[in-house]
């Protein structure tokens, strides 16, 4: 059995592109610093007294070294920020993808469904319903008091709204193609976090849980029952839409 991979996903691709761009920027700046140093050295060779040449060369050398170290600190911080957002996010999505793969036959999975608002990490279509799964890589304790909190502080993005919007989009798209409205269940998964007891049941229609939680919701859902023919038809139009994205 082939090992699951998400290296072509929106999140992983974004992570790699940002890393590549940061590396290119760093290389360009480093080359510019070296050219400036060489030019200053050549000027010192052909002008001024010997003592002045040495002082100027040493001063220029230490300036280049100082600027290079400053550049290294900045780039390391950028690389770390990129990993904490896109890189770790891609890893969390792969964990969810592997868990969904354990559901077995009869569970149709669409990974990395891209549309005009970004991407939906995973979609599952099966006899127990249609599900959109948004995966987050946040660590800490996730709780709820009207809004989602991480370690007691509000999360800066409205993940519940994001999850609901994704489910609504899929529902509307299926209706536009098949002419029938299906309810889509949104799930929000925090693979690296602990879930507080303040989160029980869906919040604003969104199920929220930790690693593997989506499999539990999918297996126990009672909001919708699909025939195998319906599930296959919905899967087919979503896969076709996924590869034919043009909005």
Q: Which residues are within 8 A (CB) of 200 and not within 5 positions of it... i.e. 6 or more apart?
A: none
Nearest to 148 by CA among 203, 193, 96, 93: 203
* Confidence tier at 50 by pLDDT (50, 70, 90): low
Chain position carrying tokens 């849980």: 209
The Cα-based distances of 146 to 115, 198, 204 in angstroms read: 29, 10, 9
Q: Which of 18-22, 76-80, 182-186, 230-234 has the least mean pLDDT?
A: 76-80
Query: Mean pLDDT across the chain, nearest whole number?
Result: 82
Tokens of residue 42, six digits: 């050549």
Whole-number Å distance between alpha carbons of 167 and 98: 21
The Cα-based distances of 9 to 31, 65, 133, 195, 214 in angstroms read: 33, 39, 15, 26, 19
Whole-number Å distance between alpha carbons of 117 and 114: 8
Whole-number Å distance between alpha carbons of 229 and 86: 37
Give the tens place of pLDDT for each residue, 64-80: 777 777 777 887 777 67
Residue 190 forms beta bridges with which residues? 136
Give the tens place of pLDDT for each residue, 116-152: 778 899 999 999 999 999 999 888 999 998 889 999 9
């Amino acid at each position: 059995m082939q090992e699951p991979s998400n290296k072509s996903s929106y999140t992983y691709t974004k992570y790699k592109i940002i890393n590549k761009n940061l590396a290119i920027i760093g290389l360009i700046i480093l080359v510019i610093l070296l050219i400036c140093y060489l030019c200053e050295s050549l000027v010192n060779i052909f002008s001024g007294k010997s003592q002045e040449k040495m002082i100027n060369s040493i001063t220029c050398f230490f300036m280049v070294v100082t600027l290079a170290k400053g550049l290294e600190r900045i780039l390391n911080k950028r690389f770390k920020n990129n990993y904490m957002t896109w890189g770790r996010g891609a890893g969390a999505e792969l964990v969810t993808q592997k868990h969904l793969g354990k559901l077995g036959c009869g569970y149709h999975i669409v990974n990395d469904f891209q549309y005009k608002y970004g991407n939906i990490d995973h979609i599952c279509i099966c006899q127990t319903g249609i599900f959109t799964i948004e995966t987050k890589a946040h660590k800490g304790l996730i709780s709820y008091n009207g809004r989602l909190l991480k370690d007691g502080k509000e999360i800066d993005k409205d993940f519940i709204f994001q999850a609901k919007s994704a489910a609504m989009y899929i529902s509307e798209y299926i209706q536009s193609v098949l002419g029938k409205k299906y309810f889509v269940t949104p799930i929000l998964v925090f693979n690296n976090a602990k879930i507080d007891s303040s989160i029980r049941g869906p919040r604003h229609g969104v199920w929220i849980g930790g690693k593997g939680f989506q499999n539990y919701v999918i297996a126990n859902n009672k909001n919708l029952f699909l025939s195998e023919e319906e599930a296959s038809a919905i899967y087919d139009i979503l896969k076709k839409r996924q590869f034919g994205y043009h909005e």
